[in-house]
Structure 1
């Protein structure tokens, strides 16, 4: 796991997605802060059926994968380690497609993941479209192939990060 440093005095506080064009990405918002060290991680939704947990400690990753196993009812098709601190879970169906039969399961899963991450002191600081992957179709509108990524910071309740 990497420890991200805010030693320059800027902290990520949110993201704005101001357009509907598939090739446009979110703008990340930063706030001036007293310099501090913190741990960041990402829940990255990819393709039509993939979720990746990036830069979480191993125990947190295990807990998040367990949440997927327990709460995504259509079930998992494959789990693999992409590289150190990146676990990928392939899901049955198409949970990120609005019209699919699994979309309600995907949304529910994301609520359970946020609940679990929060319980382990990981706070959601931004949801942003940062992928440049776009599906180009001649007969339809072009669309982004990936959905928002969630950026989280480790922030134990009641403890100062300074």
Structure 2
């Protein structure tokens, strides 16, 4: 108990519900209040309503970020969560794991965060989202020309590159075949793609921060997780060493 007293840790959760709800549970009031500006800036449709809900603070967003009907909403929802993860990280709340806490079909992930109360804030970092979508599409949520070129090379070297183009605020790569819908031997292509991406991003200083399932599923179809990376801007070695055994790296749903 002495260790807990000298270095207490606070925990909180962020969860996605229905098609448009996001709930902050056990976060301090200043965090969920400041999050309002992040939501408004990162989700152009805006906020429809906010309220307390069963011990959490809930924002109801306009549109359908967690069950989008349009590509613009699908891309925008990843940008939104990327910016929320960035905001919480800058406030000292670091993602510990992402977990599905329900056996019911259609339930989304709950993200567990922790904060060391008497430690300095983590060093500044950049955040990046990688989205696997629609059986054969991979979206890089970045306008960094170097990253885009590197991704193109990775996919091309695996002989599965088809075409690439901008889709709203993300750069979309279309692969040959349907890697996110593959089975048996063909499903091994997915592992090759993921390993290629991981090797490339780590060579550029990016580290896997977590995976999140945004969208619901039905009895016969699931959706891939979205992949979030971070790149510390200073104190790189110290922070990366602390993330080496990050539990969320172990769980990445790869099939649609």
**Range class of TM-score, shorter chain:** 0.7 to 0.9
Is contact 2:131–2:139 with CA below 8 Å preserved after alignment?
yes
Q: How does 1:151-162 map to 2 (within 5 A)?
A: 151-155=228-232, 157-158=236-237
Match of 1:143 in 2: 221
**Residues 55 and 83 of structure 1: is their aligned pair in 2 closer, same or farther, counting only changes over 3 Å?**
same
**Structure-2 change in CA distance of 1:14 and 1:142 (3 Å):** same
SS at match of 1:102: helix
Structure 1 residues 12 and 20: CA distance shift in structure 2, 3 A: same
Q: Which has the higher helix share?
A: 2
- Any gaps of 5 or more consecutive residues in structure 1? none
Say if 2:13 is the partner of 1:13: no
C-alpha change, 1:56 and 1:104, in structure 2 (3 Å) is farther
Higher deviation after alignment, 90-99 or 3-12: 3-12
TM-score by length of 2: 0.51
Match of 1:117 in 2: 201
What TM-score comes out, normalization by structure 1 length?
A: 0.77
Using the TM superposition, give the Cα deviation of residue 40 of structure 1 relative to its aligned residue in structure 2, in angstroms. 0.5
Q: How large is the RMSD of aligned CA atoms in angstroms?
A: 2.8
Q: Could you give the per-residue CA deviations for residues 124-160 of structure 1, whole angstroms, max 9, x where no partner exists?
A: 011221123x4x5xxxx3322x211111000374266
Q: CA deviation at 1:41?
A: 0.4
Between Structure 1 and Structure 2, how many residues are aligned? 151
Bigger fraction of residues in strand: 1
Give CA-to-partner distance per residue, 1:97-132, whole Å, 9 cap, x none: 242653211211101110111111100011221123
Distance 1:22 1:110, change over 3 A: farther
Aligned partner of 2:186 among 102, 105, 110 = 102
Alpha-carbon distance in structure 1 between the residues aligned to 2:197 and 2:151: 6
Partner of 1:27: 110
Q: Which has the higher contact order (CA 8 A, sep 6+)?
A: 1
